[in-house]
Amino acid sequence: MNLLSKEHTPFFYFITLVAIFRLLVAPHLGLGADEAHYLIYALNLDWSYYDHPPLVGWTQYIFTSIFGVDEFGSRISAISIGFFSSLFLYKLIYQIDYSPKKAFIGVLALHGAFIFNALFLMLMPDTLLFLFIIPIIFSVVKLEHEDSLKNWLFLGLLLGLAGLSKYTAILFIVPIVLYFVLKKRYDIFINPKILLSASTAVVIVSPVIYWNMLTGWESFIYQSNHVVGSSTVNFKGFLASLSAQFFTYNPFLVPLSFYGLYRSIKSKNDLLFLSALFGITLFIFFTYNSLYKTALPHWSALFYMLFIPIGVYFLYDKYTKYIKFSIGLGILLSSLIYLEVATKLIPLPDENSLHIDIYGFEKIMSEANKHIKEPQKEAIGVTIWTLASRAIVYNSKYPSDVYLLDKRHDQFDIWQKEAPLGKDMVVIDTPFAHKEIKNYMKCDSVQKLDAFKLVKNEKEPAVTLYRCTNYQGLR
């Protein structure tokens, strides 16, 4: 498939314009909590990390070294992945019946699903998997028909990179094995070349194994507890998980994904059938998991990335108007949100603004540092990790240190090489993470330093600063 040929021009122009649009928006949107957390990975390079494998941090390090440790530099990687993932998806759908129009409509549907417009702007471990899943599908099918050393090596490389991105990439092994079993290609499993593929993948993920060996398998233990969650079924959380997926992916497009999965299961097209096996594996795993632990919407992103576009492909001729409306609405709303967070044009009351949680950290850290006179003896403290990740990034231009003061053991405990005991802490307190400092911390004294608003029409100050003199730990 020659993407530069005339029949593919509309698609190529579209994804290029989308990438340019995102690049223009990127510098004007404050960092999100998760996004900032993975940016700190790049500021603290390591073999791996407590909560995720290292590729997200390594990727950020490369891009921010070139473009700067700021909103723009930290987002070029995700925008680039959005561009190339769209290319791979277009190629997958085009292979069905070589219709450039339907393949283009499928990619439009991907960009009409709201959450992808965030994941293709803010780098997450899930974003990295978008880059690998479709090439893995193509690689497996190609390997079935061409048993070459090169193809085995390439599959191992892709699986290793996926494993270096997120632990749930281990699930990719299941549909690949199922595919060869259902195709009765048992010879694949006794082929000595499979050892090359497996060893390549293991070598690539070896930094994760090495880091865990050094830390007493901390990351593996954390992830096993994180995935399992509670031991009892939580139907309320399960319904909340399903509702979140329904609305964050576009409620008009989500139902089409299940039809796309159904048609792919029945398809004689090897690429679609293997995609279906991936989809079934991912859907069963995350649906079962959400019975015990409320799942975040982006955990199921790989499923919807594949099957919203495929569902649109199969239903387009029959429900053309509905699909055009659904995609158009999704792209329009996503574009308006992009424009609003970048330009603040929509005249919303400040207390209902879209900007409350994504703006203000530059001001918060500036105000906090006004109370730091001796950085060796004083530091800034926060009481929840969502504040800590952004506080650390936005505090990087100041000489003071930021500490997360909580009882949970996590990545921040590894980053914090020196204990804050004995320091005077300037503590950042917010309504959604409020703590009674006198009851929460052991201090010689607690003094209220300042309180200020982040947006002018707030009824109450958004941030209060306290000084905890001679911090001696938590109560």
Is residue 235 within 8 Å of residue 83, measured between CB atoms?
no
Vertex 406 angle, CA 475 and 450, to 5°: 85
Residue 287, pLDDT score: 86
- Comparing 473 with 232, the larger pLDDT belongs to 473
Identify the band that residue 359 occupies on the pLDDT scale cut at 50, 70 and 90: low
Q: Which residue has the tokens 């941030």?
A: 463
Cα distance between the two ends of the chain: 64
Sole residue written with tokens 């990619």: 107
Residue (of 408, 420, 415) closest to 380 by Cα position: 420
Contacts 24+ apart (CB under 8 A), 276-285: 277/174, 277/175, 277/178, 277/179, 277/182, 278/133, 278/137, 278/172, 278/175, 278/302, 278/306, 279/303, 279/306, 279/307, 280/175, 281/171, 281/174, 281/175, 281/178, 282/171, 285/168, 285/171
Distance of CA 26 to the CA centre of its chain: 16
Q: Which residue has the higher pLDDT, 134 or 454?
A: 134
The pLDDT of residue 303 is above 90: yes
- Element containing residue 25 per DSSP (H, E): helix 9-25
Find the mean pLDDT for residues 77-95. Answer: 96
Average pLDDT over residues 266-283: 96
Quick one: tokens of 30? 């404050």
pTM listed for this prediction: 0.91
Mean pLDDT of all residues in 49-67: 96
Q: Are 256 and 330 in contact (CB under 8 A)?
A: no
pLDDT digits (tens, 9 = 90+) for 285-299: 988 888 877 778 888
What pLDDT does 351 receive? 47
pLDDT recorded at residue 350: 47
DSSP lists the bridge partners of residue 381 as 403, 427
Q: What is the pLDDT of residues 189-199, one digit of tens each?
A: 999 999 999 99
Q: pLDDT tens digit string along 407-433?
A: 888 899 889 878 899 999 999 998 878
Please state, rounded to an integer, the average pLDDT across all residues of the chain: 90
pLDDT of residue 312: 97
Say what the pLDDT of residue 237 is. Answer: 78
CA distances in angstroms from 366 to 382, 401, 463, listed in the order given: 15, 13, 12
Maximum mean pLDDT: which of 68-72, 233-237, 359-363 = 68-72
pLDDT value at residue 313: 96
Residues of the chain with pLDDT > 90, as a percent, come to: 73
Going by pLDDT thresholds of 50, 70 and 90, the confidence category of residue 347 is: low
Check residue 379 and give its pLDDT: 95
Taking residues 250-278, what's their average pLDDT? 96
Q: Which residue has the higher pLDDT, 419 or 347?
A: 419
Please say whether the beta carbons of 316 and 107 come within 8 A: no
CA distances from 165 to 59, 127, 281 (A): 10, 9, 18
